[in-house]
């Protein structure tokens, strides 16, 4: 059977469907949650609110990751790069589902601003792709390195007894390290100044807002 090549319109429609599923749907994880065999431990109300705020940040980060990969894949120069980006995005869907599940367990909700985060991240991903596949892959490397660092911060500040959230974040961190390494191995280039610090500032804004809203 011949392989069907999607037209730009096909990709636009598919991207719109993915955006709706990411922001308003209920993404399904392929892999079981890393917290599957870990029991819920007692936390006081303040600890639960803090854990929920951190997991809301991580959920929003995964919404942004989906959007970045979607924007990059839509305008990737080569089919090989597009397939790589979409494969990484599918693993990020696991993260999105795990974070959403953990938020429900903590009697909380995702960020109300997720549609805004998605739109902005999609535009950033598309802009990176327009600069060419090496820059786009370099954007993946820098993004995943920064995500790895903020997950490490969350692992330090989560309530000690919240082992379910910790298990999720540890697996996410391992996946992000691998995504960065794979993108670098495929030819991702180092991004020039001032792009990395601007990305850090954008991430800091998202984290401060998503913790509460």
Tens digits of residue pLDDT in 25-36:
577 889 999 999
Q: What local confidence, expressed as pLDDT, does residue 56 receive? A: 97
Percent of the chain with pLDDT over 90: 79
d(CA 46, CA 154): 16
2: pLDDT strictly greater than 50 = no
Percent of the chain with pLDDT over 70: 89
d(CA 127, CA 168): 31
190: pLDDT strictly greater than 80 = yes
130-165: per-residue pLDDT in tens? 999 999 999 999 999 999 999 999 999 999 999 999
Q: What local confidence, expressed as pLDDT, does residue 7 receive? A: 63
Q: What local confidence, expressed as pLDDT, does residue 1 receive? A: 44
d(CA 164, CA 134): 37
Q: What is the dihedral of CA 165, 51, 66, 98, to 10 degrees?
A: 30
d(CA 199, CA 196): 5
Cβ–Cβ < 8 Å for 88, 139: no
* Average pLDDT of the residues of the chain: 90
78-114: per-residue pLDDT in tens? 999 999 999 898 888 999 999 999 999 999 999 999 9
124: pLDDT strictly greater than 80 = yes
**Mean pLDDT for the stretch of residues 42-63:** 95
d(CA 67, CA 56): 17
| Helical H segments across the chain, by residue range | 8-24, 45-74, 79-105, 114-130, 133-157, 163-185, 195-210
d(CA 6, CA 8): 7
58: pLDDT strictly greater than 70 = yes
d(CA 177, CA 172): 9
């Amino acid at each position: 059977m011949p392989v069907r090549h999607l037209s730009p319109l096909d990709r636009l429609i598919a991207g719109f469907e993915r955006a709706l599923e990411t922001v308003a749907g209920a993404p399904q994880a392929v892999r079981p949650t890393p917290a599957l065999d870990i029991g819920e431990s007692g936390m006081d109300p303040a600890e639960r609110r803090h854990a929920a705020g951190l997991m809301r940040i991580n959920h929003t980060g995964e919404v942004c990751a989906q959007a970045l990969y979607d924007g990059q894949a839509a305008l990737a120069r080569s089919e090989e790069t597009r397939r790589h980006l979409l494969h990484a995005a599918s693993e990020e869907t696991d993260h999105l589902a795990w974070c959403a599940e953990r938020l429900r367990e903590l009697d909380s909700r995702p960020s109300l601003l997720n549609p805004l985060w998605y739109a902005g991240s999609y535009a950033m991903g598309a802009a990176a792709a327009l600069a060419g596949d090496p820059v786009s892959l370099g954007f993946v490397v820098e993004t995943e390195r920064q995500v790895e660092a903020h997950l490490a911060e969350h692992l330090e500040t989560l309530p000690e007894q919240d082992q379910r959230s910790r298990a999720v974040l540890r697996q996410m961190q391992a996946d992000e390290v691998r995504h960065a390494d794979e993108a670098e191995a495929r030819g991702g280039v180092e991004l020039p100044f001032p792009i990395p610090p601007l990305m850090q500032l954008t991430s800091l804004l998202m984290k401060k807002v998503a913790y509460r809203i």
